[in-house]
Amino acid sequence: MFKRFLVAGITAAFLLFLYFWLGQFRSELQAQEIQEGMLRQAEEITSKLSPEELVGQVIHVAIPGTVLDPIAKKEIETIKPGGVILFGRNLGSKSEIKSLNQNLQTSALENTGLPLLISVDQEGGRVIRVKDGVTQFPGAMALGQTKDKDMAKKVGFVTSYQLRKLGLNFLFAPDMDINNNPFNPVINTRSLGSNLETVLNAGVSYEEGARLGGSIPVIKHFPGHGDTNVDSHLGLPKIEKTLEELKSFELIPFQTAIQNGADAIMSAHIVYPKIDPNFPATLSSRILGDLLRKEFQYQGLIITDAMEMDAIDEHYQKEDPGVLALIAGADIILMTSWGPTTQSMRDQILNAYKKGTLVREGKDLLKEAVKRQIYYKLKYGIITEFAEGPKNGRANSIFPKELPEVLKNHFAEQDQNRENLFSQYYQDTLNRDVSRKAIVSFPKTFLPESANIENTVFYLKGEEFLSELRSRSISNSDLASLRKKLEKKEAKRAVLNSFTQTELDLAASLAQKFPEAEIVCLHYGTPFLDLPDSPNLKILFSFSPTPESKKALLYSVLDRKNEVPLVDLILKPNPKKSSASTETEENSVGKNTK
């Protein structure tokens, strides 16, 4: 009897194992079939394109306004671009953004036969292009300081999902640079942190979440822009590190994200003389080709940083940088302008293609780049968005007549999965919770209850701070009144806010003059300033000027019960800094910053 039960149990277990194994096997076969189907479609579409259309597809352009005006129409007709990048000047209300993107896609389908990748920098914090329709999360550095991978994944997903709903399908985030140089003028708070673990954990999680959200996330700036003291918009940075040094630090977040499935990477306009003394990463076959494509076995999209930036424009313009980038391994040449500049880039690449310059080792590099871009437009369902309905213009002859049933089912399932994940990941309190968890203190931890409200005087500037005080019936003082209360010892704590070095220095001077009082400075600008270090001065950082970040700073003084942890960054404390400093506010992110 026992043997029969034993045999029956073993048989049942084996059948159960076989059932799951067969299910997994079928799933893998189906995934392979889907991928092969998309590759065939990409190959078929690419084969229908003329040389002029192939060149256009690898160029992404900008446009001047919030509507498809005559300039934008001409740009699409002339360049026939594979994508358009939008900046703050292009992005109005939610309805205006949707209308613009729909009109851009209609124009592209008529002129190129293919939908566009429409990109945007939406990193959060101080780099927020879309103000309506997308949650204004705090920036990367704030996200890193939460030390919460689950939060990072949710923020990545929600940002990507909401962008896709507006027609923005190409997200230039997350920034995977490790900002280990506090003098870095351009990355700064756009980095997730100063150490490997923080950037690795938050960056890979954000990218994974964003990939699920539907807008293709782009990790940047390969192979690492964190250890520079030159802004590549204004000059040509150089990093004197060997490849082995990069592999042991800067490259780890990129390589890990690639292994985790990252589909798009942006290159850095930085020279690494010990790897390639002649060209920056964007133009370097050693970095994009040998390292990224071959050694890291990366098969995804490579997009250049903006080619008008001075690092390229001032140093390599005579060497046909667009051609060099494609030869190096790039798929997309990013332009942040329109008109003569983009036409010059188009002519440069077209002339090289006709001469055979873009054929290497028997491979047509231009066609390979276009095919890869079309594949990802298929993979993320961008082409299938426009699969139904009548086709006009060039779309009649290029657009797939009918997608295989397996692909139709796959994309329908993909869309449903996104909706389910949004219901699971998004809560009304997510932005608030992330913003609050991001607040950290310098130079020591901060205990919110070390003084009560009755003994606290506030000197805050900015409507978002003031409205929060009014909602709690807390009065705000001017600077003269604050000084008077501290002199008379009517207050044990003073709370100020700051964005610039000058405002930080004011807090330092108060701490020096009134050593018995606790001075709390709510700082929402860059932390990479000369930070005063006084025993009675506490600086709370939000790393972000968003409304929720400012509320979170005030929450940390008024409502928080547990202590605010110490900041985990490489900073610039300077106890000898004069309070007369006139340093201006943090570096702003220009319209062409990626």
* Contact by Cβ (8 Å): 86, 119: yes
Residues paired with 440 in a beta bridge: 541
Residues paired with 519 in a beta bridge: 494, 537
Alpha helices in 214-307 (DSSP H): 243-247, 251-259
Count each helix (H run) and each strand (E run) in the chain, helices first. 20, 20
**Element holding 360 (H helix, E strand):** strand 359-360
* Residue of 211, 214, 220 lying closest to 153 (CA atoms): 211
Q: How far apart are CA 117 and CA 375, in angstroms?
A: 12
DSSP strand pairing (537-541 vs 440-442): antiparallel
* Contact by Cβ (8 Å): 472, 484: no
Could you tell me where the beta strands, DSSP code E, fall in 214-317?
Answer: 216-217, 219-222, 264-267, 301-303
Which residue is catalytic, options 305, 320, 331, 505?
Answer: 305
* Contact by Cβ (8 Å): 412, 144: no
> Which one-letter amino acid corresponds to residue 265?
I
> Which one-letter amino acid corresponds to residue 254?
F
Handedness of CA 187, 191, 195, 196 (dihedral sign): negative
The tokens for 243 are 């490849």
* Contact by Cβ (8 Å): 130, 97: yes
Tally Cβ neighbours within 10 Å of residue 575: 11
The tokens for 513 are 């003059």
Q: How far apart are CA 348 and CA 321, in angstroms?
A: 9
- The radius of gyration of the chain's CA atoms, rounded to the nearest angstrom, is 27
Q: How far apart are CA 371 and CA 276, in angstroms?
A: 28
Mind spelling out the 3-state secondary structure of 41-101? HHHHHHHCCCHHHHHHHCEEEECCCCCCCHHHHHHHHHHCCCEEEECHHHCCCHHHHHHHH
The question of whether 177 is a catalytic residue gets the answer no
* Contact by Cβ (8 Å): 354, 51: yes
Which residue is catalytic, options 221, 225, 233, 269?
Answer: 233
* Contact by Cβ (8 Å): 532, 578: no
Q: Position of tokens 């909706």?
A: 419
Q: Position of tokens 């796959």?
A: 410
Q: Position of tokens 């900041």?
A: 567
Distances (CA, A) of 287 to 243, 295, 473: 10, 10, 58
* Contact by Cβ (8 Å): 411, 70: no
The tokens for 20 are 């799951």
Q: Which residue numbers are catalytic?
A: 233, 305
